[in-house]
Amino acid sequence: MKAKVVSLDKISDRMKSLIRSKLHADFEIVFCENDRDVHNHISSANVLITFTRGISKEWMEQAETCRFIQKLGAGVNNIDLETASNRGIPVSMTKGGNARSVAEHAVALMMMVFKQMNIAHNEIVNKGTHSRCRSRCVRAGADRTRTSFYYIDQYGAHAAHRRGNRGGDA
């Protein structure tokens, strides 16, 4: 008999296909699109998976065959841990799964502020020019969404040129 995994959150078809392709043959998975789907499948679930939805005491009591709860993300504050503990159901989460991406983003934001790129971007988008690149920004044309990227590219090339790097490596 296959173990039944019930995913409580609505997810994309692409993600569903990926999960199904990686799922072991001893498991079957059901993807819930709404509360009605959850109500129909939760009573026979062996494993509950949630991304953002909480698991209330009522749902946990309906999940009579549940043996494990997996939270894909950090924090289990929206899962009734007391009821899970009383029923002997372990609850796990994937804390820190995106820690590197968050750290990289934080460093990029610090660099942006240090180099005042936010000011340059706002001037380019709102006025079409920037005090440090008047001629280059005007040449970039009317497409202001590309102008800020053009400025960043030109700034990087200028910095590389000052360092003596002629290969365009910024």
Whether 147 and 137 have beta carbons less than 8 Å apart is answered as yes
Q: What is the pLDDT of residue 45?
A: 96
Inform me whether the pLDDT recorded for 139 exceeds 50: no
Whether 170 and 159 have beta carbons less than 8 Å apart is answered as yes
Residue holding tokens 């001629």? 135
Residue range 37-45: mean pLDDT, rounded: 94
**Percent of all residues in the chain with a pLDDT value above 90, rounded to a whole number:** 50
Binned at pLDDT 50, 70 and 90, residue 140 comes out as very low
Distances (CA, A) of 70 to 7, 76, 102, 137: 9, 10, 22, 50
Whether 47 and 41 have beta carbons less than 8 Å apart is answered as no
Inform me whether the pLDDT recorded for 97 exceeds 70: yes
Q: What is the pLDDT of residue 129?
A: 66
Q: Who contacts 118 (Cβ-Cβ below 8 Å, separation ≥6)?
A: 112
Inform me whether the pLDDT recorded for 8 exceeds 70: yes
Whether 48 and 63 have beta carbons less than 8 Å apart is answered as yes
The radius of gyration of the chain from alpha carbons, rounded to an integer in Å, stands at 25
Token duo for residue 32:
């819930």
Which pTM value belongs to this model? 0.60
What are the domain boundaries of the chain? 3-93, 99-162
Fold entry, domain 3-93: Rossmann fold (3.40.50)
Inform me whether the pLDDT recorded for 12 exceeds 70: yes
Phi, psi (rounded to 5 degrees) for 44? -110, 10
The C-alpha angle with vertex 44 and arms to 58 and 36, in degrees rounded to 5, equals 60
